[in-house]
Amino acid sequence: MSLTKSEKMEHSRQALEISIEQSVFEAAVEKAYRKNVKRITVPGFRKGKAPRHIIERLYGKGYFYDDALNDLLPDAYDNAVKEADIRPVSRPKIDVKSIDENGVVLSVEVDVYPEIEISDYFGLKAPKNEAKVTDEEIDARIEMARNRESREIEVTDRSVEKDDTVKISYVGYVDGKPFDGGSAEDYSLKIGSNSFIPGFEDQIIGKNVNDKFDVNVKFPDDYHAKDLAGKDAVFQVELKGITKIELPALDDEFAKDVSEFDTFEAYKNSIREDLLKQHEESVENEFMNKICDQLIEKMQGEIPASMFEEEIDSQLESFENNFKAQGISMDMYLKYTGSDLNKIRESIRPNAERKVKLDLIIGKIADAEKVEVTDEDVDAKIKDLAGKYTMEEEKLRENLKDSMEGLKYSIKMTKTYDLIKEKSVALPPEAEEKKDADEKAAEKPKKKTTTKKAAKKTEEQ
């Protein structure tokens, strides 16, 4: 078996011609005969005892060719790929050009790893925002923790106020008659939630436990129940209880309850540091996204569509696995969202195509800059992953033994990405605003000069 032709085609596709010698093919046909003869019945012979030439005369010369080819193809294709020194990225399209007693000639087409070009990838410039933390963000984070530590207490010494929760029983009447869905017993309602008809909750404010009173409201014109829309209603209400949420004081004891810190000031500072770290990471990601956009614009080369489709398949599989983890099948998701797989694939496509392009670019730069992965790099990565997944380092290393090359590749890509970031130039945020303004100015059509004005201007000169 040998490679007789290897030619580059358009769109990163390669054409190969593979020749399988007569002796090799004949041996494969004989092997296929011996494998299948036991299942073949030929009149005049015991089952499984018919000679090969009799079977071929009865069923055709090529009766065993398919099985022989299937046996030879994997090795023939792998050897041709190695000899042609190509990296296939898709399933090959294989056609039999000729097949007879003289051997086999195969025609193969396959998408290959694209040859891309990228230059001037260091020193790229992009605006970069400043990471800032506002007092409002800190207060909101503290308020979330405060609400988690809150407790509900009964109110007995005053009337209803906004933000209280009341327990009420009520019956609603329209045109003097009760209506369906207009009554409830011991219903809990938070005043100010606006979950009832406009005006209902306001009329409870100021009432006391055990009060019985009427609430007069009007259903909105667009109310979902058409028979009630726009109609006046009276609710007979009995107030059975009042509760309120009591929030803990913002002091050192609160800090000890919700964190590892002994003082409220230390707790507050830790929130500021945590938020700042998040914002810094977000700012870095935003900055590098702009740098990556420029890298994609600079890239030259044709990427086969099969690479994009494979990445879409991979992301779709992750998408489906996430739903399975929540007990939801893809069919259920499609049914409830009214979507279909084609729409989902198209929604994934932009991100998938961007990822494929960036992977190719980063890989190309890694090779150009001779980025190496050391044992220390691997050890540091395993230590980081072990801490992240709370596993022993040696156990994790053992689990990763078969995928170590993939781990090294990931480290190499990360190091290259960091190298690009290190050599990129961060511009002040206002640079982006100026760029946008310049682009808008360039798009704005220039005023036309009339013939009369132009003549006058010429005379003045």
The verdict on residue 170 lying in a domain is yes
Residues 99 and 163 in one domain: no
Quickly tell me which residue has 């107030």 as its tokens.
239
| Spatial separation of the C-alpha atoms in residues 63 and 58, rounded to whole Å | 9
Contact predicate 118/300, CB 8 Å: yes
Q: What angle do CA 111, 113, 115 make, to 5 degrees?
A: 115
Given 231, 246, 261, the domain boundary residue is 246
Which residue, of 111, 135, 167, is where some domain finishes?
A: 111
Q: Check if the beta carbon of residue 290 is closer than 8 Å to that of residue 126.
A: yes
Answer yes or no: is 381 within a domain. Answer: no
Q: Could you tell me if 102 and 198 lie in one domain?
A: no
Helix, strand, or coil here: 171?
Answer: strand
One domain for residues 13 and 71? yes
Q: Tell the burial category of 205 from Cβ atoms under 10 Å away from its Cβ (0-12, 13-18, 19+).
A: middle
β-bridge partners, 187 = 168
Structural domain range at position 238: 151-246
Other beta carbons within 10 angstroms of residue 303's beta carbon come to 19
Give the position of tokens 């992750």: 318
Question: d(Cα 321, Cα 327) in Å, to the nearest integer?
Answer: 10
CA distance linking residue 143 with residue 210, whole number of Å: 33
Q: 3-class SS at 300?
A: strand
Which of 193, 225, 246 is at the close of a domain? 246
CA 454 to chain centroid: 58
Query: pTM (2 decimals)?
Result: 0.73
Per-residue confidence (pLDDT) for residue 100, from 0 to 100: 80
Residues 174, 229 within the same domain: yes
Q: Tell me whether residue 222 is in a domain.
A: yes
Residue with tokens 């306001």: 202
Query: 173-183: string of b/e by CB count within 10 Å (b at 16+)?
Result: beeeeebeebe
Q: Are 109 and 13 in contact (CB under 8 A)?
A: yes
Q: Whose CA is closest to 199, among 163, 241, 235, 170? A: 235
At 443 the pLDDT is 64
In a domain, 448, yes or no: no
Task: Tell whether 242 and 157 lie within a shared domain.
Answer: yes
Residue pLDDT tens, the chain, 461 long: 789 999 999 889 999 999 999 999 999 999 999 999 988 889 888 888 999 999 999 999 899 999 999 999 999 999 999 999 999 999 999 999 998 878 899 999 999 999 999 999 999 999 999 999 999 999 999 999 999 999 999 999 999 999 999 999 999 999 999 999 899 999 999 999 999 999 999 999 999 999 999 999 999 999 988 989 999 999 999 999 999 999 999 999 999 999 999 999 999 999 999 999 999 999 999 999 999 999 999 999 999 999 999 999 999 999 999 988 888 888 888 888 888 899 999 999 999 999 999 999 999 999 999 999 999 999 999 999 999 888 999 999 999 989 999 999 999 999 999 999 999 999 998 776 666 566 666 666 555 544 445 445 444 44
* ∠ CA 54-55-60, rounded to 5°: 110
Do both 157 and 99 map to the same domain?
Answer: no
Helix (H, G, I), strand (E, B) or coil at 153: strand
Alpha-carbon gap, residue 422 to 122, rounded angstroms: 9
CB 252 within 8 A of CB 243: no
Residue 100 is assigned to a structural domain of this protein: yes
Q: Which helix (H) or strand (E) holds 108?
A: strand 103-111
Distance (Å, whole) CA 425 – CA 288: 10
Residue 126 falls within a domain, yes or no? Answer: no
Q: Determine the Cα–Cα distance for residues 77 and 68; give it in Å rounded to an integer.
A: 14
The residue among 420, 443, 441 whose CA lies nearest residue 123 is 420
The alpha helices in 185-329, defined as continuous H runs, are 252-258, 264-298, 305-325
CATH number at residue 40: 3.30.70.1050
Specify if 421 maps to a domain.
Answer: no
What is the β-pairing status of strands 13-21 and 103-111?
A: antiparallel
* Residue 70 and residue 16 share a domain: yes
Q: Are residues 173 and 233 in the same domain?
A: yes
Domain count, the chain: 2
Is residue 93 domain-shared with residue 184, that is, in the same domain?
Answer: no
User: CATH number for the domain including 195?
Assistant: 3.10.50.40
Within a domain: residue 404?
no
Residues 105 and 6 in one domain: yes
**DSSP at 117:** B
Residue burial 434-449, b: 16+ Cβ < 10 Å; e: rest? eeeeeeeeeeeeeeee
Q: Which residue type is seen at 230? A: G
Q: Are residues 99 and 174 in the same domain?
A: no
Amino acid identity of 292?
A: C
